[in-house]
Amino acid sequence: MSRRWVLWGLLATLWGEAGTARADTLTTDVRGYAQGRLLSGVVSLAGKQVPLPDGSWILAGNADTTVDAVDGAYGAIANLVLFRLQGHVVDAALELNVNELPVTDGWGLSADCDRTDLVLAVVRYRTGWDGSCFFVTHSLAVTPLLPPAWEQALRFAADADLIMAPVWVTAGFRVANRRDLVDARFQFSPALRGVPVEIVSHWEDSAWYGQRLQADPRRLALATEVARWADHYGGWLEDGLKGRLDPTLKVPMPGSGAATSVLQQRLVRLSEQRASGLLEEEPYQRQVRWLHDNGIHPGSQVTDSRTVALGKALSYQPILVLGSLAAWFAGGAPILVEGVLGMLRVGLDTAVFYAHELGWERLAGQPRRDSARIVDFRYFGDHA
């Protein structure tokens, strides 16, 4: 197919569906849509709601992917790639991974949410099998192993002569519970937001990395805007996982200044409940005070069982050995000999204790893995 006909087809899609795409996507699962379909508003994907920021989004890739190297029968993962265009330039891209079959043992969080070398990485909550996190970083448009949806999207972009940035600002999200997950990654073009085009070979060489970002006012301002927006968007994605989004919700793009924080949304809902009579004045004031004092952060975090086992080994065995040394010393044993034996016991007993703990967990079948583990997919862009 020639590029001219691809462009005419794309323009026809934009023109013909501009008035009907929003109504269609509120109730219809977008997995059944063909490449080139125009989407907007709140869309449904494998039973989950996903809010799209303002504007028209082109379905550029639509395929299934899988989870690699993780125990469990996860089935197929719906993987979609959407483009938001400004003329021939891809202003933003959205990569979605959503489970098609429910599971019973949870999905965990993304490894990027625990990194310390990104612009921002936040775990909103990690309790039981429930988890929500987001991160902001930059990504190089270089990926050797692309998922099928991205392969389709890049062919679509090439056929339509679309221009894609060599370096993107990335906002990634993971919302999961015991049964389901929504994994979303936005790529924003810096050039369309006042930042010069940059071409680098390695992620660490970029002006977005480390202290170089702090010294660049334009990049720092854009990173801050995206981080603020990501905090708001994460709350909407959590509601979408539970099917609680208002179908008429309008989500702004980063930097528009129209977003309200999740805390502000919670306060508004409490006010509405008080006005309707569902919430009396005293419990309303008490909850408002609690939100102002504590925010929306959870009161507990789940710790990886291997970390617990290691902590127990490191704290218990030295205490045991010191007790034995004291008893031997009181019995008149040579201090040097007992000291050497004690040091050997510290190392050996700690390792044995740790292995013993892990062995019992494996024997018991590890009935509760929770969200401390990591589950990721293949993504577009290099930010490692």
Domain membership of residue 375 (yes or no) is no
41 has a pLDDT exceeding 60: yes
Are 132 and 276 part of one and the same domain?
no
pLDDT for 18 equals 44
Domain membership of residue 329 (yes or no) is yes
- Phi first, then psi, for residue 145 (nearest 5°) are -120, 95
Are 279 and 159 part of one and the same domain?
no
Q: 117 in the Ramachandran plot: left (φ > 0), alpha (ψ -120 to 50) or beta?
A: alpha
Give the chain's mean pLDDT: 80
Q: Domain range holding 282? A: 260-301
Could you tell me the CA-to-CA distances from 246 to 42, 240, 264 in Å, in that order?
8, 9, 16
Domain membership of residue 374 (yes or no) is no
Are 243 and 269 part of one and the same domain?
no
pLDDT for 310 equals 64
Are 273 and 243 part of one and the same domain?
no
196 has a pLDDT exceeding 80: yes
Are 275 and 352 part of one and the same domain?
no
98-121 b/e (C-beta count within 10 Å ≥ 16 → b): bbeeebebbbbbbebbeeeebbbb
End-of-domain residue from the set 248, 269, 286: 248
Are 116 and 202 part of one and the same domain?
yes
Are 292 and 313 part of one and the same domain?
no
Are 289 and 356 part of one and the same domain?
no
- What is the mean pLDDT of the segment spanning 202-222? 93
Are 173 and 281 part of one and the same domain?
no
Are 39 and 72 part of one and the same domain?
yes
- What is the mean pLDDT of the segment spanning 165-173? 96
222 has a pLDDT exceeding 80: yes
pLDDT for 277 equals 85
- What is the mean pLDDT of the segment spanning 30-36? 92
Return the percentage of the chain with pLDDT > 70, whole number. 68
State pLDDT tens for residues 299-352.
444 455 566 566 666 666 666 666 666 655 555 555 555 556 566 666 666 676
1 has a pLDDT exceeding 50: no
Confidence class for position 118, pLDDT limits 50, 70, 90: very high
Domain membership of residue 376 (yes or no) is no
pLDDT for 375 equals 85
Distance CA 263, CA 111 (A): 26
Are 309 and 294 part of one and the same domain?
no
366 has a pLDDT exceeding 60: no
Give a three-class secondary structure readout of the chain.
CCHHHHHHHHHHHHHHHCCCHHHHHHHCEHHHCCCCCEECCEEEECCEEEECECCCEEEEEEEEECCCCCCCCCCCEEEEEEEEEECCEEEEEEEEEEECCCCCCCCCECHHHHCCCCCEEEEEEEECCEEEEEEEEEEECCCCCCCHHHHHHHHHHHHCCCECCCEEEEEEEEEECCCCEEEEEEEECCHHHCCCCCCCCCHHHCCCCHHHHHCCHHHHHHHHHHHHHHHHHHHHHHHHHCCCCCCCCCECCCCCCCCCCHHHHHHHHHHHHHHHCCCCHHHHHHHHHHHHHHCCCCCCECCCHHHHHHHHHHHHHHHHHHHHHHHHHHCCCCHHHHHHHHHHHHHHHHHHHHHHHHHHHHHCCCCCCCCCCECCCCCCCECC
Distance CA 87, CA 110 (A): 33
| Number of compact structural domains in the chain | 3
Domain membership of residue 17 (yes or no) is yes
Domain membership of residue 371 (yes or no) is no
Domain membership of residue 373 (yes or no) is no
Are 289 and 312 part of one and the same domain?
no
Domain membership of residue 158 (yes or no) is yes
State pLDDT tens for residues 120-166.
998 888 877 888 999 999 999 987 789 999 999 999 999 999 999 99
